[in-house]
Structure formats: structure tokens, C-alpha cells
Chains A and B, each alone.
Chain A
């Protein structure tokens, strides 16, 4: 499945704080859109709005041309949106296989077929030996991989990764980069939040720089690298 994602004029306020102040961006199938910005710029809030945890105060989100604004998280998930979290939110007291089965519980496929797919996914993520362990027994990096596998199970059109490299061993990072490249090659639309600028620049075709709830620059990697506004936002104030 593949679809573009468009965000128009997204505004989100928390009491007196305006976390998102009119976000405009879009990403297309088979592309990785990197999202950068200092802490508090609104990156995670943007993701939370897109997947439905937060209700935006203004603006719209379109997935594959269809408006998903205001839908519940599980409805949005069924529209083909998957995500991972900055701090892994795996289902701690369920086995790895069961973790992977949760997003596809409502599929018509028979149980054994789904389990085989889950096992294949775990094998790809090099977690197959631990498939019967509870998720809480995994290390932080392994949990991030588990989240990635879980996210991919329903074959989402749009995937959003929130700081996948944070606190992860460099070898694992390289492995994750490969996986992310594979997702894009597969035709998925990938939104990638990260502070790891090297990885962002390597993976992304385009990058959106956020600051104080707005997209201050969006364009190709070289464009963003040299953009004075971006540099100032990162280093200034």
C-alpha cells in the first residue's frame, strides 16, 4: 500500500502553550522526509496529532488524499498509518510474537499464516530467537526493533519513526538505517524524526526543519544544511 501524507495548517495548543502553529508539509510514497528541530519544536506533537492521540485545534491531515483529522487512533491506524515511539511502548507482558500480532488481529488471514508472517518479520529484525520471551525482557535497542517490526506488520502506507536512533548502539543504528531504506524502497512514505543529523541527511530525500511549532524550512538535504534560519534555530537563542 502506498499513499502520500499532507498536513495543512495544523495548530495544537496546550493551555497557554502553542505547540504547533500552522504546520504545512507533505511527503510522498517511496520517500523519506526527515524532520528535525530542537527539543520542544513540535516534532513529537506533530506525530501525535497525525496518529490521533491529540486532536488538532485547527488544520487538516490527509492520508492518501482522505481527511483523517479528528478520527480515533485506531481508525487512523486502519487508514494505513504506523508509528514507533521515542521511548519504546511495547506490550511488556506479551511475547514478541503476540506483540506483532496485535496490529493485525482484525485481519481475515488465518492465525497460522499471521504467525508465520510475524516470525518472518522477527527473523528480519534478528529477534527470532527471543520470539517467546516477554517484551519487557528485551534491551532498549531490541525493543526499538520490535516496535519497528510491529509497526510494519499491517503493511502501512505511511510510517512515522520518532527518534529511532536515540540511545541505540552504532551497529544497531546501521541496521536500522538499512531497514528504513528498505521501507522507502518498498514504496512507503516515511516520516523520520531524529536528532542524529548524519543519519537524517543520509536517509532523507527531503528534510523539514521545525522551530517553535512552524516549518521554517523544507527542501533537499543540501538546501537545509546551508539554510541560515535552520542553523540559527539549532545554534542560536
Chain B
């Protein structure tokens, strides 16, 4: 290979090294995460804590696809989660589906809802956020007003005779790893680049040959799929669903805050953000149970004021060269 002008290392070799570091880091993180969560039930560590940690990692990562990669802030994100919860609950309880069969249907339900909401994708930042909130409100009201036999009214639905924490725990782990895998792929793929171009300047992307509408839709549907499946798995884990908890606005709030805390636009950001914030939340919950909400609110304000790019985002701002190596 002829030497590149002015460079000691040929660019292609340098690129290969950077890629190698990137994927090694991704594999290491993925491996650590997998092994850690794998042994939680075995070592009898706090299953509930870790289950929800995995849930939040998945939710924050999916939100990252909508917000970090595509540039949308769906403040009604919980709608997908709620729809997924109820889909699994109804299929299992009323139609006798095995849970593992119901879960993909939950994912599909999320995608269908995403398609229904697709017309809102042409709206700009604040309008989109507000409409998303309103649409989630409509979902919640529609489901709570459905006949009691289907959705359980104010009592909710119970899936089965008892909960299965360990099985649902491992399924949640599977879902989380799948989500992380998809996002890793997305961040390097052509669709990912197209999404980011549309995020930065949709009109310019259009003129550069990107089918903006289609690209936005794909990103959106990916973001809609995972929270729906999460809802389904959580329904299995707790063995009960009701509209209050399934469509709780706090779910969106935490998702957004955890994702922003880590840093939007990177794969590791939502993981870091979720780990830090869930751990913090647990700490506060143990010592000052009444201050939970207050701490969450104050933490959000402090985050926006002092760490608006999140932990990973700020790190990458400080050392931009590392962007190529950190997933």
C-alpha cells in the first residue's frame, strides 16, 4: 500500500484500528453487562432492583433512538409501554397465550401505535412533544374506558395465578441485550447516519437524497417497539396491569431524565445514565422515601443546568477525539 501523503499510518489502517477499539469496547461492555445480570438471581442479589435497572436501560436506550438519533422528544413515550403492558395482559389472561408468544405481539402493538402516531412526525420540537403527551393521555383514557371484561376497569388485570420473577428477569435481560444490539447496529448503520442527518437539517437531508419521511418512520418504529415489549415483560413480572401504573407519566419522566443524564446520541449514554440514576434513586428511597419525587425533580433541573449533554456527552465534548472509540 503506497504511503499516504504526510501521514505515518495509512488512513485505512487507522480506521481499522478505531473500529477495532470501538467494537472491542462494545463487546466488553456487553459482556460485563450480560455476565453481571446473569448472576444476579444466582447470587440471590436484589432481583427487583436489577429487573427495573434493566427495564430502565432498555427504555432509555429506545428513547435515545427517538431523541438522540432522530431528534424527537416524545413526552408521551409511556403510551407505547402502556399499550404493550395491556396487550400482553389481555392476550395471556383472556386468550390464554403463553407469555413468550404474547410479548412479540406487544412489540407489534407498539409498532402499530407508532404508525398511528406517524403523522405527528412532521411537527417541530415543542409541538411534537406536547402532541405526544396529549396522545398518550388519549390512549390512557380510551383504555380505562373500555369494557371491564377486556381491560379490567379500575381494578386492572391479573395475568396468571402467580408472578414468575426469575423467568421474567431473564427475558428482560434478553430484551435489553436485543435493544442494545439494535442500537449499536443503528449507530453505525446507514439508517443511523440518515437519521442523524434528518435530525440536524431535514430539508438539507432531503436535498441530499435522503427520503426523510421514510427514514423518520423507521427510526420512530424502532423506538416504539422496545418500550412496548418492556411493558409486556413488566406486566409478566408484576403479574398485574392497570391504567394508572401502565400509563404513568412518571415512566416517561424517568425515561427522559435517565437518557438525558447519560447523554443522548451515544449507545453507552443511556446505560450510564440509567445505572447512575437508578442507583441514586434506590439510595434516596432507602434513606428518605418521601423525598424521592423531590430529588428527581431537583436532579433534573441540575442536570439541565450543569450537565445538559449528560455524563457521556460531556465527556465526549471534553475529548472529542474519543467519539470514534466510544460506542
In residues 8-28 of chain B, which contact A (Cβ within 8 Å)? 11-12, 15
Please indicate the chain A residues that have their CB under 8 angstroms from the CB of B205 in the complex. 91, 102
Q: Could you write out 21 A-B pairs with CB less than 8 Å apart?
A: A74-B207, A74-B212, A85-B204, A89-B204, A90-B201, A91-B196, A91-B201, A93-B265, A94-B193, A94-B200, A98-B193, A98-B196, A101-B193, A102-B209, A103-B208, A104-B209, A105-B190, A105-B209, A106-B190, A119-B11, A133-B320
- The answer on a CB contact under 8 Å between B320 and A134 is yes
Please tell me if B143 contacts chain A, counting CB pairs below 8 Å: no
Any A CB within 8 A of the CB of B321: yes
B324 contacts A102, CB within 8 Å? no
Closest chain A residue, CB of each to CB of B208: A103
Q: How far is the CB of A15 from chain B (nearest CB, A)?
A: 21
CB of A225 within 8 Å of the partner chain: no
B148 within 8 A of A: no
Contacts of B193 in A (CB 8 A): 94, 98, 101-102, 105
- Measured between beta carbons, the chain A residues less than 8 angstroms from B196 are 91, 93-94, 98
- Complex formed: what's the CA distance from A101 to B197 in Å? 10
Chain A residue numbers with a CB within 8 Å of B112 are: none
Q: Which residue of A lies closest to B199 (CB)?
A: A93
Q: Does B303 contact A (CB under 8 A)?
A: no
Closest 3 CB pairs of A and B: A77-B209, A73-B206, A91-B200
Residues 20-39 of chain A, each 1 if its beta carbon lies under 8 Å from chain B, else 0: 00000000000000000000
Contact of A74 among B209, B265, B320 (CB under 8 A): B209
State whether A72 touches B204 (Cβ < 8 A): no
Q: Which of B161-196 contact A (CB under 8 A)?
A: 190, 193-194, 196
Assuming the contacts A103-B208, A112-B12, A116-B12, asked whether A73 and B203 have C-beta atoms less than 8 A apart, the reply is: yes
Q: Would you list which residues of chain A between 72 and 93 have a CB under 8 Å from chain B?
A: 72-74, 76-78, 83, 85, 89-93
Closest Cβ of chain A: how far from B155's Cβ, in Å? 48
Cα–Cα, bound, A106→B190 (Å): 8
Main SS at interface, chain B: helix
Interface: A213 (CB within 8 A): no
**B145 interface residue per 8 A CB criterion:** no
Q: What is the chain B residue whose CB lies nearest that of A81?
A: B207
**Binary per-residue interface labels of chain B (314-327) against chain A in the complex, 1 for a CB within 8 Å, 0 otherwise:** 00000011011000
B227 CB to closest chain A CB, in angstroms?
Answer: 25
Residues of chain B with a CB closer than 8 A to A74's CB: 206-212
Give Cα A106–Cα B197 distance, bound, in whole angstroms.
14
| Contact across chains for A91 and B197 when beta carbons are under 8 A apart | yes
B198 to chain A, nearest CB (A): 9
Q: Within the assembled complex, what's the spacing in Å between the Cα atoms of A51 and B205?
A: 12
Q: Once the chains are docked, how many angstroms separate the CA of A85 from the CA of B323?
A: 28
Chain B hits for A83, CB < 8 A: 207
Residues of B within 8 A of A89 (CB): 201, 203-204
- CA of A73 to CA of B15 in the docked complex: distance in angstroms? 33
Q: Is A132 an interface residue (CB 8 A)?
A: yes
Which B residues are CB-close (under 8 A) to A91? 196-197, 200-201, 204-205
Q: How far is the CA of A53 from the CA of B205 in the complex (A)?
A: 11
Given A93-B265, A119-B11, A132-B323, also A154-B209 (CB < 8 A): yes
What separation, in Å, do the CA atoms of A236 and B201 have in the docked complex?
Answer: 38
In the assembly, what is the distance between CA of A90 and CA of B265, in Å? 18
Query: Which residue of chain B has its CB nearest to the CB of A154?
Result: B209
Kindly state the separation between the CA atoms of A132 and B197 in the bound complex, as whole angstroms.
16
A150 within 8 A of B: yes
What would 19 more interface pairs be, CB under 8 Å, given A116-B12, A137-B320, A150-B208?
A51-B207, A73-B203, A73-B206, A74-B206, A74-B209, A77-B207, A77-B208, A89-B201, A92-B201, A94-B197, A101-B193, A102-B194, A102-B205, A102-B208, A103-B209, A105-B190, A115-B15, A132-B323, A132-B324
Nearest Cβ on chain B to A33's Cβ, whole angstroms: 20
